[in-house]
Chains A and B, each alone.
Chain A
Amino acid sequence: MTLLEVKGVTKRFGGLTAVDDVSFEIAEGKILGLVGPNGAGKTTLFNCISGLYRVNSGMIVFGGRDITNKPAHIVCRAGIGRTFQIVQNFERMTLTENIMVGAFLRSRGKKQAAEKGLEILEFIQLQEKKDVKARNLSPPEKRRLGLGMALATEPRLLMLDEVMAGLTPVEIDGVLDLLWKIQETGVSIIVIEHVMRAVMAISEKIIVLDSGKKISEGPPEEIAHDDRVIRAYLGKSYAGS
């Protein structure tokens, strides 16, 4: 069943068309990769879906409900969680408090939110730092915290903006394991990622954006050999390998 359907979404900033008539869909429990060179419009597309930007045209349907141009908190309530490319956790709050902000959405009270917070901290393996202020985390830990905060809102769709940026190969494998575990619970995931090894491994389908346009869509192995994608993004060496 289709969970999210994006139909002809266009977003312009003055004369620049950052997202140009992009359409795609993602089914329940699937993982979708979103790749493309810097400035291709990936993050802008996320911002359009999550309600931080208003689209100029097009439609976004989530779980059968039109969420086009709905405010971000409504979109989140509908069941879409996201992380940010430039990590912005609540730096002066502790890890537990950070996650509780998300957990309050579907908790009855503070106690329940705190319990859920602890559960998620364990899941993202940061439970030892539960009382540490978010500003004291290392960059990879900050990214995991961002993931945990989004998870706390109990999303049906999780949109991750470069959660693996700057991680070591071992850390990347750790995050991949987390994402698979999340997928097992029935959550769909869209990942924006530049770490090709990871995107190829985890995505069932990949969408390639270039200059705001969707230039290709398909399973990873097809994308890797698509001429347009190689020219725009991957480069010859990747196709050769």
Chain B
Amino acid sequence: MKTRLRDLMLFFLLGVFLLIYPFVFTQAFYQHIMIMVFMYGLLAISWDIMGGYANLFSFGQSAFFGIGAYVSTLLFLHWEITPWLGMVAGGFASGVVGIIVSYPTARLKGHYFAIATLAFLFVVQIVLENWKFVGGAQGLTLPLTEQSSFWKFQFRESKIPYYYIMLFLLGLGFLLAKGTLNSRVGYYLRALRESQEVAQSLGVNTAKYRLMAIALSGFLSALAGTFYAQYVLYIDPSSVISLNLSVEVVLISVFGGCGTIYGPLIGTVILIPLTNLIRASLGGAGRGIAYMVFGGIIILICVLQPDGLVKLFERSKKAVAREV
């Protein structure tokens, strides 16, 4: 009971902090960092549903991200459909693509599935690069509106609207993932991660739940993709569908502790500001240095706590319980 109260307090404080953050840190750069934290957080959560819960180790997350970005942008450019609807459409498109791709890969496990997702990533990238209708390698530019417009998902004066929108999307994704994973689906996914045979013998339609995990993961990643397109207003195949982005998402989740939902969020909160700050302070060379630091931290966590940062918290919790 006491810990529950404490948790509630923590959540409340965190909520207040997140809500007032853009008014405390008024510099655009700090707001940008937080927006990136939210965006990567959503990607990491969506990766965790597949990679952490269902044991479908994916390097294809940025393909889902890219599909979300492209679908909403194309719908807006060609038919002036609001990016809000485009976002939902992108989510569903991405989920459907995920389901289609999961059929030929249904029997693949572990490393082999990971390789297949890598291939999937490159296929999507190459298709987009060579498809004139979607802008080819040049990419697509979203026309600037004259003034901020909620309907057109563009805000000129400040980053604050973007901040709250991404915060909302992250919250939505978190609740959706949490709700799903706390229910029967989550139990089944964790079960099939450990043994498909046993899960099947307990009446679990493993193929169906595998599909659900991929579809949900694709859907959430695509929401982040649409947001990114509206935030940057320019997308091209190599920026939204990159192996770099996929790998970053995997590293963040593994670093934080996959299969927990909280782990990937913790990973994001630490790694994204860190790399952004390093990049900003070191300028052009910063990108390389940032990745070196990134790599160093990953090596450290592999040596010290292979199950991810989140396990450190669990351990201290247990230690407390023992003392009491």
Do the beta carbons of B200 and A91 come within 8 Å of each other?
Answer: no
Chain B, 192-203, contact with A by CB distance < 8 Å: what is the 0/1 string? 001101111111
Do the beta carbons of B201 and A50 come within 8 Å of each other?
Answer: yes
Do the beta carbons of B194 and A105 come within 8 Å of each other?
Answer: no
Interface flag for A100 (CB, 8 Å): yes
- Which residues of chain A are near B184, meaning CB under 8 Å? 104, 110, 113
- Which residues of chain B are near A92, meaning CB under 8 Å? 190, 194
Interface residues of B in 178-197 (CB under 8 A from A): 182-184, 187-188, 190-191, 194-195, 197
Interface flag for A76 (CB, 8 Å): yes
Interface flag for B206 (CB, 8 Å): yes
CA distance A149 to B197 in the complex (A): 13
Also in contact, A73 and B206, with CB within 8 A (given A50-B201, A90-B198): yes
Do the beta carbons of B203 and A76 come within 8 Å of each other?
Answer: yes
Interface flag for B205 (CB, 8 Å): yes
Count residues of chain B with CB under 8 A from any CB of chain A.
Answer: 19
Nearest residue (CB) in B for A113 is B184
Interface flag for A215 (CB, 8 Å): no
CA distance A97 to B198 in the complex (A): 14
Also in contact, A76 and B194, with CB within 8 A (given A104-B187, A110-B183): no
- Which residues of chain B are near A233, meaning CB under 8 Å? none
Also in contact, A93 and B194, with CB within 8 A (given A101-B188, A104-B184): yes
CA distance A101 to B198 in the complex (A): 10
Nearest residue (CB) in B for A98 is B191
Chain A, 105-124, contact with B by CB distance < 8 Å: what is the 0/1 string? 10000100100000000000
Which of A52, A77, A89, A101: most chain B Cβ within 10 A?
A101
Tell me which of A51, A91, A110, A149 contacts B202 (CB under 8 A): A149
Interface flag for B204 (CB, 8 Å): yes
Nearest residue (CB) in B for A110 is B183
- Which residues of chain B are near A50, meaning CB under 8 Å? 201
Interface flag for A2 (CB, 8 Å): no
Query: Is chain B's interface secondary structure helix, strand, loop, or mixed overall?
Result: helix
Q: How far is the CB of A231 from chain B (nearest CB, A)?
A: 34
- Which residues of chain B are near A93, meaning CB under 8 Å? 187, 190-191, 194
Interface flag for A125 (CB, 8 Å): no
Interface flag for A136 (CB, 8 Å): no
Also in contact, A150 and B202, with CB within 8 A (given A100-B187, A104-B184, A110-B183): yes
CA distance A51 to B200 in the complex (A): 9
Interface flag for A38 (CB, 8 Å): no
Do the beta carbons of A73 and B205 come within 8 Å of each other?
Answer: yes
Do the beta carbons of B200 and A71 come within 8 Å of each other?
Answer: yes
Do the beta carbons of B200 and A76 come within 8 Å of each other?
Answer: yes
CA distance A153 to B202 in the complex (A): 6
Do the beta carbons of A73 and B194 come within 8 Å of each other?
Answer: no
Do the beta carbons of A82 and B201 come within 8 Å of each other?
Answer: yes
Do the beta carbons of B202 and A105 come within 8 Å of each other?
Answer: yes
Do the beta carbons of A101 and B187 come within 8 Å of each other?
Answer: yes
CA distance A177 to B178 in the complex (A): 41
- Which residues of chain B are near A104, meaning CB under 8 Å? 184, 187-188, 203
Q: How far is the CB of A164 from chain B (nearest CB, A)?
A: 19
Nearest residue (CB) in A for B187 is A101
- Which residues of chain A are near B183, meaning CB under 8 Å? 110
CA distance A105 to B203 in the complex (A): 6
CA distance A204 to B201 in the complex (A): 26
Q: How far is the CB of B240 from chain A (nearest CB, A)?
A: 35
Which of A50, A73, A113, A150: most chain B Cβ within 10 A?
A73
Do the beta carbons of B194 and A72 come within 8 Å of each other?
Answer: no
Q: A93-B190, A101-B191, A149-B198 are in contact. List 19 more A-B contacts (CB 8 A).
A: A50-B201, A71-B205, A72-B197, A72-B201, A73-B200, A73-B201, A73-B204, A76-B202, A84-B197, A84-B201, A88-B194, A88-B195, A90-B190, A90-B194, A92-B190, A93-B191, A101-B188, A104-B184, A104-B187
The 8 lowest CB-CB distance pairs between A and B, nearest first, are A72-B200, A76-B203, A105-B203, A102-B202, A101-B191, A90-B194, A88-B195, A73-B205
